[in-house]
Structures are given as C-alpha cells and as structure tokens.
C-alpha cells in the first residue's frame, strides 16, 4: 500500500487537509448521518486513515442525532430522538480540552448575538474528526438546542448550523493551531468556511479580492446535488439578518459578498462553493456531466463541455462493508495483504479461484443471518427464495414503488410457488418529507396485502447496521432512481463487494460499473418525460426479472448450487470491488485535487500573497475592461490559399480588445461536430490593425466536419492567465 504521509511528506505536512461535511456516518452508534452523503464522508475519513493521509474532519455533533424510525401498523413513520449514548460508540468520542484541561469553546456570531460551541473529537485511526455542539451553559436555552438534529426544517436553525459548521469549524481549527493546506468542502452546507477565511485574512490587512484568491486557490468542492431544486439556498433577507454585521469585516461591501452566492434572487450555497474553490468535482462521470449542464445555466456563454467540473466516482470502505464470513473466505483465497491493496484488480482476480460452492455457501450464511436478525420467515425447504433488497433514504426520486407499477404482474412474479421471490425494503424518510413518508405507508400496506403475503417486507429503522445485513444478505440489490437524479449511489457498491448482484437503472456509478456481465441494467431513454421513463423502466425491470434474473437464480446444477449465478457473483466482485472502494477514491482525490491544490495554495500565499494579489488585480482589470472586447469579423479563408496548405481549414478574425493585451486572451474558432462535441482551433494574433484592434489567424487539418459554413463558426475570446485554475475561471467569454 502506498503510505501517502511518508511518500508525500515533502508535499504535505501534518493535518494538511481539512475535510468539512454536515454529516459523517462512521458507525450506527454515532447517529450523526442521514444517508449516502454522510456514509461517504465517514468512509472517506476511514480510507484517509488507512492510507495515512494527513486529514482532519470537521462536522457537527448532533445531540439527538438523526431520528430513530418506528413504523406503526398503518405504515406511519414515527420519529424518536433518544440522547446519543457516547459510551456505546465504537469510536472513542472525547471533549476537546486545552492544555489546562478546560474545554475548548468557540464562538460564532448569529444575528448579533454570540453563540458558543464545544468541540468533541472522534478518533478514526490516525484521523481526528472534530464535531461542534452548542449545548453549552453560557448559551440561551434555544441556542443550546441549535445542534440537536440533522437537517432541521426551519431555515433559521439550518443557517445557524451552517454558520456554526463553516465559520465555527474554521475558528476551531485556528484555535487548535491546525493550518490546513487544502480545504475540502463536501457538499455546499459548509461553504461559509470560505467567508471566515477571507475575514481572517482581511483582518490581517489584505484586500477582499486578494484574500478571496488565496482562499480559492486552496479550496476544493465536491458537489452531490444533480438538480437545482436540491440546492441549499437562503433568502437575501435572511443573509442580511445573519451577515449584516459580517460583510464589512471581509473588506468588501454587501453586494460584492452576496455576489459570490446570489442567483435567481436567493443565496445559493453551491454557487458560493463554486465561486470560492479552484477545483470542483461531481461524484460519478455522469454526475460530472449533469453538473456541467446545470452550471451552464449560470454561465450560458460557456459551452457545457468547457465548464470546469471534474469527477471522482464514489467508493465504499471495504473494511466497513464486507461481511465477516466472506472476509474470511477472501483471506483464504486472496493474496495475504489483500486488505491493503483493495484498489488492485489483480488482487481481486483471485476471487475466480474460490470454489463456487464455497462462495455460494458463505452467501447462504449471510442470508440466513439477515433473515434471523430481521425476524423474517425462514424457508421451509433447504433452498432459500430469491431475495431482492431495496434500501435507502425514501426520497421520492428514488422511486421505491416503481416495482409495484403493475401490481398484478409483480404479484405473479413474486408469488410463483416454484420460484418464490421476496422483496425486502428499508429506509427512513426525512421528518419533513411527507411524500417520502407516504411511500413507506404504501409499502407497509402492500406488505399486508394478501397478494404479497410473505413476499414483501418493510424493515424498520434503516441505519448502518441494517444496511450491512442487507447488502450482505440479499441476492439482488435493486435501485430504480429517476435518471439522472442519483449523483452516484453507493449502497449498490456495498452489495457488489459482498457478491450481491445489482439490478439498477443506468444512473450514477452504475453507468460506469456495469459491463454487461456483472449484473443487470435497467435501460430507458431519458428525455425529461418522467411518466414515460417510469413506464419504460418498469417494463425493463419486469422483463429482466422474468426472463433473466429469476431463471438464472433457479437454474441449479448437480450440487444444488446455481453455478452460472455464482459466476456472475464472481464477475461482479472482480470487476467492481477494485474500483468502487474508498482506497481508489481517496487516492483519486489525492492526485486530482489535494496535491495540485496544495501546491497552488502555497504558490498563491508565498511572499506575502504575491500571486494572490496579482491575480486579484488582474481579474479586476479584466472585468473593468471586458465590455470593450468585441469580435468584429470572422472569415473562413479559402482552401486554395497556398499559405494554408492542403486539407487545412483557416480562420481569420478581427477582434477589438481595447485596453486588454492580446496575450491575455485565448481566441478560438469553435464549431459543433454535429454530435454532442465541439471542435476548436486556436487563433494567434498576427498583427495590430489599429490601437486595440487585432487580426487573429489560425489553421487546422483535423476538424471532424467536411464543409464548414461561416454561419457554423463562432469565434470566442476568453481572458486567460497561467495563474488560473482553468481557462474559464473568470466566467467571461466574448463571442462573435
């Protein structure tokens, strides 16, 4: 295994990455997560510890945690909030104290009053996770409850929590003497941290714009939200109430500060995060594309292709999610250090050598364990039914009820006495999500329906413990989100690791993971018509169940083991386990995000922030003069010109740059390739016609289109700088 801290010691010092997240799912005994986002953050922290990456986590200690779910006979969800029992936590949780043994207390401003928070620390191997909580004696009663619950419905409590996380978290790190080189914002909830860092630099005498550049250079942002409606937003009025006395402390006026996040009349935390970071990534390749399309709406003059959003596909922490019995089997057949090399495909290839009967037998044990743990009926015969699991948050886009779209048909599929199929559901709906709770109610009703007796079950209080039992114990993991709403999804990755086969809509990670042999894909056209999509997905799902999944499962060999099925299990493990794990994921973050950003942050900060102030001044100059930039004239120069050469296309443009220097812009001829792509040809300034008016020319021999008409060619002028993280950092472009 690569030991990052040692190998890269020269690049990173201790505690060099600060990882902020509103939720962390480390273990069910510490209920400070609600779903995939938190589990991902928890797995990220664990992998960083495994890889010896110098990372510090920052989050909130929700005193009552995410709720415990009870479902009554009628299917209504009830919310219980027992106090979190720290003694029960498998991770040591401690109050953070100063050298004199006094608890460290930090202070944040909330609407003109001071609110105090204590810090707790959770040790995950070498990584420390700090968690803030406002249950402090010096706070008012109401403020003591600010951090009680996760994702409160009330906007005032939500913004207070986000101020505590971003501003308070930054203050805590400062108090502890931790000076991160890279600040990683996991989703937009924590993005106020960038404002606090600007404030701190401003207090040292730096201008707002220079401070912004320094902060941006050292910050990365991971977005998880594929739809605009999912973004965290606050009204401008609310921003004024909470930040009225804070704006000026950043060294800028209110409008400039608000401009970092204002969009469509509200303050958008994703917009703030994008404005204040130098690298942005989505959590799967498809989600990266979807995010580019979404951000394109904010920057319509920049083509989707060019929007600077990368992707790092999510993974899961193998040590957390692999069943104990299967781990023993892997210990016997895989190379001895396999747990340190989970991102190596060759290591997993040894799964093919495991005798099919043994792999099958271990899975039967996991299945039995799950049935017993949930009190589900044990099969009368020695052959267990095909069990399909569906468990995740009950958000409506995940379409838990899709499989019941045609109740008669699914009843026939499940009810066949020769080939019984059982559906097991689990999941919580957010306390404020009425439609999500309705889904739970309907599933409970279906489970009581005679047609589905002993075929459909709803398991209460889905959390990490239940998730483990399910992803280890069912046969098929079903996922039917409305494409492209599932940014990544990770529960299917946990299932795959355990030899459970995915049957999923080709959304999120599954588009990348599915290879035609390692599970099943529910394919449909995606054209924005949600009803049509549901219809197609349902039909595809039923067809897969009837024609492929059920027949394969019940196709027994001599030893009563469905060997073909077992081979798909092996293919699924071999092809998916090495890729969709957090060792691979955090290594990707390391190379793509952390190392370059650490270098960038240091370069911007060196010599009294020389580069940061230069970039700030440069951006200021460009913004002030951009309105004078104009593409005056575009020509395609004919092929027969001997200067150009055979089969080449040549372009000439006349461009007014005003006060801007010709080397500070990138000029390109841009056209569509007739599919979804663009071709681009860079043009160079060949002469200055009159002051500020330039002639640009360029040729290319590899434009993938035969006949180019003038109307199809656009010339784009973009302000650039070797100090920019991307050519579109200024979000400016002039077209002609």
Ligand X SMILES: *Cc1c(COP(=O)(O)O)cnc(C)c1O
Using CB under 6 A as the binding criterion, the count of chain residues that bind ligand X stands at: 13
CA distance 339 to 500: 20
Considering Cα of 176, then 179, then 180, then 184, what sign does the dihedral take?
A: positive
What's the min distance (Å) between Cβ of 491 and ligand X? 3
Q: Is 504 in the site for ligand X (CB under 6 A)?
A: no
CA distance 510 to 696: 45
Phi, psi of 457 (to 5 degrees): -130, 145
Residue ranges in 378-397 that form contacts with ligand X under rule CB under 6 A: 392-393
484 prior amide bond cis, ω within 30: yes
Q: Is 172 in the site for ligand X (CB under 6 A)?
A: no
Which residue in the set 217, 386, 467, 669 belongs to the binding site for ligand X (CB under 6 A)? 467
Looking at the Cβ atoms of 35 and 671, the one nearer to ligand X is 35
Distances from the Cα of 527 to the Cαs of 374, 423, 485, 533, 676, in angstroms? 40, 30, 13, 8, 15
CA distance 618 to 209: 10
Which residue in the set 284, 490, 504, 598 belongs to the binding site for ligand X (CB under 6 A)? 490
Q: 669 and 651 in contact (C-beta within 8 Å)? A: yes
Looking at the Cβ atoms of 106 and 469, the one nearer to ligand X is 469
Q: Is 463 in the site for ligand X (CB under 6 A)?
A: yes
What's the min distance (Å) between Cβ of 489 and ligand X? 4
- Counting DSSP H helices and E strands in the chain, the numbers are 25, 28
| Segment interacting with ligand X (CB under 6 A) among 262-270, 368-376, 460-468, 716-724 | 460-468
Which DSSP symbol is given to 168?
A: I
Q: Is 487 in the site for ligand X (CB under 6 A)?
A: no
What's the min distance (Å) between Cβ of 361 and ligand X? 26
| Closest to 62 in 3D by CA, of 142, 140, 120 | 120
Q: Closest residue to ligand X, Cβ-based?
A: 491
Residue ranges in 315-374 that form contacts with ligand X under rule CB under 6 A: none
What's the min distance (Å) between Cβ of 497 and ligand X? 12
Distances from the Cα of 105 to the Cαs of 135, 175, 249, in angstroms? 11, 9, 22
Looking at the Cβ atoms of 245 and 465, the one nearer to ligand X is 465
Which residue in the set 330, 348, 360, 462 belongs to the binding site for ligand X (CB under 6 A)? 462
Q: Is 250 in the site for ligand X (CB under 6 A)?
A: no
3-class DSSP state of 430: coil
Q: Is 436 in the site for ligand X (CB under 6 A)?
A: no
- All residues at 6 or more sequence positions from 22 whose CB lies less than 8 Å from its CB, including other chains: 37, 38, 59, 60, 150, 151, 161, 162, 165, 187, 189, 190
Looking at the Cβ atoms of 491 and 598, the one nearer to ligand X is 491
**Would you tell me how many other CB atoms lie within 10 Å of the CB of residue 385?**
19
What's the min distance (Å) between Cβ of 35 and ligand X? 4
- All residues at 6 or more sequence positions from 99 whose CB lies less than 8 Å from its CB, including other chains: none
Looking at the Cβ atoms of 38 and 188, the one nearer to ligand X is 38
Q: 174 and 156 in contact (C-beta within 8 Å)? A: no
Q: Is 464 in the site for ligand X (CB under 6 A)?
A: yes
| Closest to 198 in 3D by CA, of 216, 221, 222 | 216
Looking at the Cβ atoms of 96 and 464, the one nearer to ligand X is 464
**HEC readout, 222-249:** ECCCCCHHHCCEEEHHHHHHHHCCCHHH
Tokens standing for residue 149: 């619950």
What's the min distance (Å) between Cβ of 470 and ligand X? 9
CA distance 473 to 467: 10
Tokens standing for residue 114: 């001071």
Q: 75 and 140 in contact (C-beta within 8 Å)? A: no
Residue ranges in 657-716 that form contacts with ligand X under rule CB under 6 A: none
| Segment interacting with ligand X (CB under 6 A) among 359-367, 433-441, 463-471, 688-696 | 463-471
Which residue in the set 161, 281, 311, 491 belongs to the binding site for ligand X (CB under 6 A)? 491
CA distance 551 to 548: 6
Bridge partners, 109 (sequence order): 114
Looking at the Cβ atoms of 303 and 481, the one nearer to ligand X is 481
Q: Is 431 in the site for ligand X (CB under 6 A)?
A: no
Q: Is 31 in the site for ligand X (CB under 6 A)?
A: no
Q: Is 36 in the site for ligand X (CB under 6 A)?
A: yes
Phi, psi of 141 (to 5 degrees): -55, -45
Q: 219 and 20 in contact (C-beta within 8 Å)? A: no
Looking at the Cβ atoms of 31 and 75, the one nearer to ligand X is 31
What's the min distance (Å) between Cβ of 34 and ligand X? 8
Q: Is 282 in the site for ligand X (CB under 6 A)?
A: no
Which residue in the set 5, 35, 288, 484 belongs to the binding site for ligand X (CB under 6 A)? 35
Q: Is 22 in the site for ligand X (CB under 6 A)?
A: no
| Segment interacting with ligand X (CB under 6 A) among 230-238, 404-412, 484-492, 610-618 | 484-492
CA distance 656 to 673: 28
| Segment interacting with ligand X (CB under 6 A) among 70-78, 406-414, 458-466, 638-646 | 458-466
Which residue in the set 39, 370, 459, 650 belongs to the binding site for ligand X (CB under 6 A)? 39
Q: Is 498 in the site for ligand X (CB under 6 A)?
A: no
Bridge partners, 120 (sequence order): 95, 131
Q: 462 and 412 in contact (C-beta within 8 Å)? A: no
3-class DSSP state of 343: coil
| Segment interacting with ligand X (CB under 6 A) among 361-369, 461-469, 527-535, 567-575 | 461-469
| Segment interacting with ligand X (CB under 6 A) among 87-95, 256-264, 487-495, 570-578 | 487-495
Q: Is 489 in the site for ligand X (CB under 6 A)?
A: yes
CA distance 497 to 26: 18
What's the min distance (Å) between Cβ of 318 and ligand X? 13
What's the min distance (Å) between Cβ of 482 and ligand X? 13
What's the min distance (Å) between Cβ of 392 and ligand X? 4
3-class DSSP state of 118: strand
Looking at the Cβ atoms of 36 and 323, the one nearer to ligand X is 36
What's the min distance (Å) between Cβ of 166 and ligand X? 24
Looking at the Cβ atoms of 402 and 464, the one nearer to ligand X is 464
Could you give the strand order of the β-sheet that contains 262-263, starting from the edge strand earlier in sequence?
233-235, 266-268, 262-263
Looking at the Cβ atoms of 203 and 227, the one nearer to ligand X is 227
| Segment interacting with ligand X (CB under 6 A) among 456-464, 574-582, 593-601, 707-715 | 456-464
Tokens 């495994």 sit at which residue?
Answer: 50
CA distance 441 to 429: 11
What's the min distance (Å) between Cβ of 430 and ligand X? 12
Looking at the Cβ atoms of 449 and 512, the one nearer to ligand X is 512
Looking at the Cβ atoms of 152 and 489, the one nearer to ligand X is 489
Tokens standing for residue 398: 């995940």
**What residue ranges bind ligand X (CB under 6 A)?**
35-36, 39, 392-393, 462-464, 467, 489-491, 494
């Amino acid at each position: 295994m690569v030991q990052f801290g040692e190998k890269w010691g020269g690049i990173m010092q201790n505690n060099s990455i600060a990882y902020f997240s509103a939720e962390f799912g480390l273990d069910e005994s510490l209920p400070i997560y609600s779903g995939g986002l938190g589990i991902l953050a928890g797995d990220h922290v664990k992998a960083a510890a495994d890889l010896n990456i110098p990372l510090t986590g920052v989050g909130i200690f929700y005193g009552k945690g995410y709720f415990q779910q009870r479902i009554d006979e009628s299917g209504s969800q009830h919310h219980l909030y027992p106090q979190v029992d720290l003694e029960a936590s498998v991770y040591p949780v401690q109050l953070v104290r100063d050298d004199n043994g006094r608890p460290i207390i930090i202070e944040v401003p909330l609407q003109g009053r001071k609110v105090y928070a204590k810090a707790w620390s959770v040790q995950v191997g070498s990584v420390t996770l700090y968690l803030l909580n406002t249950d402090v004696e010096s706070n008012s009663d109401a403020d003591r409850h600010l951090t009680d619950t996760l994702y409160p419905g009330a906007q005032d409590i939500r913004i207070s929590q986000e101020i505590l996380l971003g501003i308070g978290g930054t203050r805590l790190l400062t108090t502890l003497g931790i000076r991160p080189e890279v600040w990683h914002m996991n989703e937009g909830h924590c993005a106020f941290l960038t404002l606090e860092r600007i404030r701190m630099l401003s207090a040292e005498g730096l201008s707002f714009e220079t401070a912004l550049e320094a902060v941006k250079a050292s910050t990365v942002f991971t977005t998880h939200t594929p739809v605009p409606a999912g973004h965290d937003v606050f009204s401008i009025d609310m921003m004024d109430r909470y930040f009225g006395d804070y704006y000026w402390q950043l060294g800028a006026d209110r409008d400039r500060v608000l401009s970092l996040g204002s969009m469509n009349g509200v303050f958008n935390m994703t917009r703030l995060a994008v404005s204040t970071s130098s690298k942005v990534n989505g959590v799967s390749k498809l989600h990266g594309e979807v995010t580019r399309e979404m951000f394109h709406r904010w920057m319509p003059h920049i083509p989707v292709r060019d929007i600077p959003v990368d992707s790092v596909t999510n993974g899961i922490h193998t040590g957390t999610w692999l069943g104990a019995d299967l781990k023993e089997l892997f210990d016997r057949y895989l190379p001895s250090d396999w747990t340190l090399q989970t991102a190596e495909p060759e290591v997993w290839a040894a799964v093919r050598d495991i005798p099919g009967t043994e792999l099958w037998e271990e899975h039967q044990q996991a299945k039995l364990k799950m049935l017993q743990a949930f009190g589900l009926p044990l099969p009368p015969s020695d052959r267990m039914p095909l069990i399909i699991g569906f468990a995740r948050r009950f958000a409506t886009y995940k379409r838990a009820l899709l499989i019941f779209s045609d109740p008669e048909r699914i009843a026939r599929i499940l009810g066949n006495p020769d080939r019984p199929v059982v559906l097991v559901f689990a999941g919580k709906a957010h306390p404020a999500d009425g439609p999500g709770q309705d889904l739970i109610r309907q599933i409970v009703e279906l489970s009581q329906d005679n047609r589905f007796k002993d075929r459909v079950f709803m398991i209460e209080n889905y959390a990490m413990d239940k998730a483990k039992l399910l992803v280890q114990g069912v046969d098929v993991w079903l996922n039917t989100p409305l494409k492209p709403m599932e940014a990544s999804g990770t529960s299917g990755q946990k299932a795959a690791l355990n030899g459970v086969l995915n049957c999923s809509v080709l959304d999120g990670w599954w588009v990348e993971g599915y290879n035609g042999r390692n599970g099943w894909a529910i394919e449909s056209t995606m054209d924005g018509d949600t009803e049509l999509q549901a219809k197609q997905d349902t039909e595809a799902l039923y067809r897969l169940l009837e024609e492929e999944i059920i027949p394969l499962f019940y196709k027994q060999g001599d030893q009563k083991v469905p060997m073909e099925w077992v081979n798909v299990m092996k293919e699924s493990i071999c092809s998916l386990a090495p890729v969709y794990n957090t060792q691979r994921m955090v290594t990707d973050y390391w190379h793509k995000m952390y190392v370059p950003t650490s270098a960038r942050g240091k370069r911007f900060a060196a010599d009294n922030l020389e580069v940061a102030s230069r970039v700030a001044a440069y951006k200021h100059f460009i913004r002030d003069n951009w309105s004078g930039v104009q593409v005056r004239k575009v020509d395609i120069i004919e092929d027969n010109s001997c200067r150009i050469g055979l089969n080449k296309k040549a372009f000439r443009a006349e461009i007014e740059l005003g006060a801007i220097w010709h080397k500070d812009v990138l000029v390109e001829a841009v056209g569509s390739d007739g599919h979804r792509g663009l071709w681009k040809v860079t043009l160079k300034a060949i002469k200055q016609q009159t002051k500020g008016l330039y002639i640009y020319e360029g040729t290319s021999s590899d434009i993938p289109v035969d006949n180019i008409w003038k109307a199809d060619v656009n010339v784009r002028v973009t302000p650039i700088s070797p100090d920019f993280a991307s050519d579109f950092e200024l979000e400016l472009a002039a077209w002609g």
